[in-house]
A and B are shown apart, each in its own frame.
Chain A
Amino acid sequence: MSAQGLRISRHTLGVAAALFVAIVLVPVLNRFVPAGSALHLSDYAVGLVAKIMCYAICALAIDLIWGYTGILSLGHGLFFALGGYAMGMYLMREIGHDGNYASDLPDFMVFLDWKTLPWHWTFSASFWFQAAMVLAAPGLLAFVFGFFAFRSRIKGVYFSIITQALTYAAMLLFFRNETGFGGNNGFTDFKRILGAPITAPGTRIALFVATACVLVAFYLLARWLVATRFGRVLMAIRDAESRVMFTGYDPVAYKLAVWVLSALMCGVAGALYVPQVGIINPSEMSPAAGIEIAVWCAVGGRASLVGPIVGAFFVNGAKSWFTQAFPEYWLYFLGALFIAVTLFLPQGLVGLFRRGVRRDA
């Protein structure tokens, strides 16, 4: 039992360290260390880390449904985008009369010559209503889709392909101007969030800290979840679903629960991403975006919780360096990385550091 105690305390230490870095270190290095100093953290770096933390939440979400439950979704970009759009609608209204057309309506609607807000924008000026939509939109879609898919026992590659088709269909829908989501330009040019100027350093740090706290909270939630009997049923479904059924569990309920949770996590990640990156458009729903999320998870290490977070940081960190240093080689590198991990590191990067962990089998 002492080994157990040690593991828990090391784990608590890790979480505490992550929170310290996020809440104290980054704000201090960014705001209070002078720009010339070697220790200064640039606004660019803060923004980059914040963005990657949003991606890490998605990777964590994929890990629950794929790594633990064995259901590969290639459509999580859709849930991310829905959360992002729900937040973006509020941010568009928060622009007020400061847009190019100084109108009551968001610029793209004026451009389309619309006179009134479409029905689904009715409550968009309310932050709290849209915050609820950040959960409701991906949650409801995931519930309805998951209910029918899991009930019909759609599994494996068929499920993956359908999720891919779903996100593609949604992308085409959002590309259309008449859908009322800004067409292929999406939403951008945000000015304020909850009254605070969105590009001000203080706001950016606040958003950064919020993102870090959400990431840590989701990590702890996931850690708790996989340690319960619920989590063990998920792994059992992954390894021998028929045995789960003949043991008396209804896999549909379990799959649906973790599927919806996973979608909600992505929705929240999207909502945190949009104000920090300053844009949301249908490209977030492209099939490639959904595949990338799965790649982060696989590179970091499935069924490990820390793995997907590591993977999101590693791949996106490499991406931002590569696309500056050798822009034309990034995709080759990503492909090579994925192949290398699949062949040599089936447990991902964290597999390198784990020994004797019982999930290794």
Chain B
Amino acid sequence: MTPELLEQGARAKREHDEHEAAQQASGGRGAAYGRVVHGGEPDFGTGVALYLDDVTVSFDGFKALNALNLMIGVGELRAIIGPNGAGKTTMMDVITGKTRPDAGSVSFGQNVDLLRLRENEIAGIGIGRKFQKPTVFEALTVFENLELALKAERGVRASLLHRLDGEQRARIEATLETIHLKDAAARTAGLLSHGQKQWLEIGMLLMQDPRLLLLDEPVAGMTDEETERTAELLLTLEGKHSLVVVEHDMKFVAAITEGRRKVTVLHEGSVLAEGRLAEVQADERVVEVYLGR
């Protein structure tokens, strides 16, 4: 480990502690105007779940994200589209702590600065992410995969002593039902089909009970029927969770937005257009860069 890394880590920690202390001291007034907010707890009082402000990420001079601004409301379902290299996956990497932006800020609720948290801490405050390539624990059974994702203490000691209670077991059963894998509960996850793995990963997100779900191409590799069922599932989640869905499949985007929800078009790392699907599809610039005419 280099001294710079050490210093950087210490600085980030100090800033985070100061930030938390300041929030405790002010009773959260600075962030939320009179409501009592606890240090690390996100506050959704103003109806904003996620706010990206002027976020820039560059890799060797190439700007993957270029002053990106994005606001997702509480309980909103938002579809994000854009050609390859538009920065969709990089945006998710920034939100979940995998990539640090060069500039800009990302906040969860009104008060939690995501740039100060590590991946597991970000997951812990309620942001779940589905990867482009389905990522499940292949050596474990479907049931065990869901069990690991179950909302519970994540420490080493808690894991050593962890036992499922009846209520938790019921939640896992219910999720198995939702993702149509009830019969496969005892199967090794590595043996599932591609589409089933996608479902399992979505199921794991549901077990985490996140406030915000980020789904990166959730229907890639699914059959038409599976795609349809996925759209239905996501629609049932709207309201309870905020959802950000990145997808190429226009039929799927049309299905989940139902002609009225907002679609954001990314291009070269920033927002090109925002609006209902029909509107953005009619937008000259979108047609030019994305639909390739």
Contact = CB atoms under 8 A, between A and B. Distances in A.
A187 to B, nearest CB: 35
Contact of A250 (B120, B162, B191): B120
Interface in A239-263: 239-240, 242-243, 245-251, 253-254, 257
Interface string B51-85: 00000000000000000000000000000000000
B96 A229 contact: no
Interface stretch (B11-19, B153-161, B259-267, B277-285): B153-161
Contact of B141 (A248, A253, A254, A358): A358
Contact of A253 (B139, B147, B156): B156
A225 B159 CA distance: 10
Contacts of A235: 137, 139-140
B129 A246 contact: yes
Contact of B138 (A233, A239, A257): A239
Given A247-B208, A254-B156, A358 B188 contact: yes
A31 to B, nearest CB: 41
B96 to A, nearest CB: 6
Contacts of A361: 138-139, 188, 190-191
Contacts of A230: 156, 159-160, 162
Interface in A185-240: 225, 228-230, 232-233, 235-236, 238-240
B220 interface: no
A240 B1 contact: no
Contacts of B255: none
B94 interface: no
B159 A233 contact: yes
A248 B120 CA distance: 4
Report which residue of B96, B140, B208 has the largest number of chain A beta carbons within 10 angstroms of its beta carbon: B140
A122 interface: no
Interface in B114-169: 118-120, 123-124, 128-129, 131, 135-141, 144, 147-149, 154-156, 159-162
A2 interface: no
B144 to A, nearest CB: 6
Report which residue of B124, B135, B139 has the largest number of chain A beta carbons within 10 angstroms of its beta carbon: B139
B160 A232 contact: no
Contacts of A253: 155-156
A275 B161 CA distance: 37
B5 interface: yes
A243 B135 contact: yes
Interface string B156-193: 10011110000000000000000000000010101100
B182 to A, nearest CB: 18
A240 B149 CA distance: 13
Contacts of A225: 160
Contact of B123 (A148, A247, A358): A247
A242 B149 contact: no
Contact of B124 (A152, A233, A248, A360): A248
10 contacts: A225-B160, A228-B159, A230-B160, A239-B137, A243-B135, A245-B119, A245-B123, A358-B188, A359-B139, A361-B191
Kindly list the 4 A-B residue pairs having the minimum CB-CB distance in the complex, ordered from nearest. Answer: A248-B123, A230-B159, A245-B119, A361-B188
